Homo-oligomer: A and B are copies of this chain.
Amino acid sequence: MNELDIEAVADPDLRDPVLVEGLPGVGHVGKLAADHLVEEKESELVRRVYSEHLPPQVSVSDDGTTELACAEIHAVELEDRDLLVLTGDHQASDNAGHYRLTGAFLDAAESFEVETVYALGGVPTGELMDEYAVVGAATDADFVAELEDAGVEFREDEPAGGIVGTSGLLLGLGERRGLRATCLMGETSGYLVDPKSARAVLEVLEDVLGFEVNFDSLEERAEEMEDVANKIQEMENQQSGMPSDENLRYIG
């Protein structure tokens, strides 16, 4: 295997495609959102990206067969246009790998003449929440204005520390290639896998890209997570009256 290996699974003609990325991250918001699009809409796997910069492992399916760690790009059919949706179970395992994998993702997207990139993710608030704002950042001021019209919030000093990993580099490296790119980050506690935050991000995407998606399965998942959160809060209340970071850290 080479350091990076892009396997071309299919080469459909796509209508004005944009790249949507949802790899694991804060609250798994981006991953939940991207996986939801692939599951709910007509979709077709078009690329697999293998790399030495992904963890050295195979996953095991329910039927006992294995699959080498990879990132996948799916063509997703919307009402008026198509998406390329980047999904997977892993971020790169080292710094240079983040740069090289993101470069490979952009190469694949550009082979489908993508000009715009939507990186999806979460921004941690540190507290359980009822309403989910979507915070944004983008490569240029026009894109910022356009997303503000769709309800995305742009806040000074947020996210503090910038945007790291694949999402950040899709903007940083994308801009250097002349692409427009944004990162849409749903607010989330940071403690739990957060389907409600994923829905908030997808609703922005619906508005901006002009499509509709059914949220039933995401709502079911959200209710399951709420049950988990409530149980934890109950246990906590019996003890100290407040959920602690320690106990809630990443349950999902």
Binding site for B on A (CB under 8 A): 1, 3, 50, 52-53, 55-60, 62-69, 92-96, 98-100, 102-103, 136-141, 144, 154, 156-159, 161-166, 168-169, 171-173, 175-176, 183
Residues of B within 8 A of A64 (CB): 136-138, 141, 144, 154
Chain B residues in 8 Å Cβ range of A169: 56-58, 68
Question: Residue A58 contacts which of B1, B59, B65, B172 (CB distance < 8 angstroms)?
Answer: B172
Q: For the complex of A and B, list the 10 residue pairs with the smallest distance between their C-beta atoms, beginning with the closest.
A: A68-B172, A64-B154, A56-B98, A52-B96, A57-B164, A64-B144, A59-B162, A52-B99, A58-B172, A57-B168
Cα–Cα distance between A26 and B183 once the two chains are bound (Å): 33
Asked if A66 contacts B158 (CB within 8 A), the reply is no
Which residue of the partner chain B has the closest CB to A98?
A: B56
Most buried by B among A57, A66, A103, A183: A66
Set of chain B residues within 8 Å of A50, measured between Cβ atoms: 176
Q: State A163–B64 Cα separation when bound (angstroms).
A: 12
Of the candidates B66, B103, B165, the one whose C-beta lies within 8 Å of that of A175 is B66
Chain B residue contacts of A157, Cβ below 8 A: 60, 62
Between-chain CB contacts (< 8 Å), 28 pairs: A1-B176, A52-B95, A52-B96, A56-B99, A56-B102, A56-B164, A56-B168, A57-B163, A57-B165, A57-B169, A57-B172, A58-B162, A58-B171, A60-B159, A60-B162, A63-B141, A64-B137, A64-B144, A65-B138, A65-B139, A65-B144, A66-B138, A66-B183, A68-B171, A68-B172, A68-B175, A69-B162, A69-B172
**B1 in contact with A66 (CB, 8 Å):** no
- CB neighbours of A136 from chain B (8 A): 64
Given contacts A68-B176, A172-B68, A173-B68, contact A164 B63 (CB under 8 A): no
A243 to chain B, nearest CB (A): 25
